[in-house]
Amino acid sequence: MPDTVFHTALPTAATLLPLPPDARAQGLRRWGLHGLAVQSVVDLLPGLGDAVVVHLGHACSVTAVSGGMPRATTAAVSPAGGVVSLTGSGDLDPEVVLRLVEVHGGSVAEVRQLLQRRSGVAGISGGRTDVAALLSAGDAAADLAVQVLVRSVAMAVAAAVTTLDRWEGLVFTGGLGAGSPELRERVCARLLPLRPGAAGLPGPPSEQLAGSGLEVLAVPVDEEAVLDRLARAVGPAPGPRSGGRPSDRRSPAADR
Burial 169-201 (b: 16+ CB within 10 A, else e): bbbbbbebbbbbeebbebbbbbbbebbeebeee
Rounded to a whole number of angstroms, the distance between the first and last alpha carbons of the chain is 22
- 91: annotated active-site residue: no
Phi, psi torsion values for 231, nearest 5 degrees: -65, -40
Q: How far is CA 91 from CA 54, 82, 105, 156, in A?
A: 17, 5, 22, 11
Catalytic position from the list 3, 43, 91, 248 = 3
21, 71, 77: which is closest to 51 by C-alpha? 71
Active site (catalytic) residues: 3
